[in-house]
Amino acid sequence: MKVVVDFDLCESNAVCMEIAPEVFEVRDDDFLYVLEENPGEALHDKVRDAADRCPKQAITLED
């Protein structure tokens, strides 16, 4: 699984960080940082949930 964020869409709502803090972090500068572009299998459910719950639908998961 590869995590791709469309930064033109992302508005740093930080929902992804709530669900999968191992992978997503919104820092004090209000920008989203992807900590793990290729998260391990144990994180896949969380990352899928994070992609679903992104209000801007800015997170895409590639196989």
Partner 1 sequence: MSDIVAPRIVIVGASLAGVHAAQAIRRAGSDATITLIGDETDQPYDRPPLSKQYLAGEWDADKLALRPSKDPESLGVDWRLGTDAVGLDLDTRTVRTLSMADGADEIGFDGLVIATGARARRLPGTEGVTDLHVVRSKADSDRLRAAVDDRGGPIAVIGAGFIGGEVAATFRSQGHDVVMIEAADAPLTRVLDAEAGMLVAERHRAEGVDVRLGVGVEGFEIDDHGDHQHVRGVRLGDGSVVEARTVVVGIGAIPNTEWLGGSGLELDNGVRADSTCLAAPGVVVAGDVANWDHPRYGRSMRVEQWDNGVDQGGYAGRRLLADLAGEPAPEPFGPVPWFWSDQYDWKIQFAGVSGPTKETVHGDPAEGRFAQLYLDVDGAPCGVLAVNRPRHAIKGRQALTAGASVEEIRDTLA
Binding residues for partner 1, rule: CB under 8 A, are: 11-15, 17-18, 26-28, 30, 51-53, 55, 57
Nearest approach, Cβ of residue 29 and partner 1 (Å):
10
Closer Cβ to partner 1, 39 or 51, answer by number: 51
Taking residue 3's Cβ as centre, other Cβ atoms within 10 Å add up to 22
Query: What type of residue sits at position 19?
Result: I
Closer Cβ to partner 1, 9 or 37, answer by number: 9
Closer Cβ to partner 1, 24 or 39, answer by number: 24
Rounded to a whole number, what is the distance in angstroms from the first to the last CA of the chain?
5
Taking residue 9's Cβ as centre, other Cβ atoms within 10 Å add up to 13
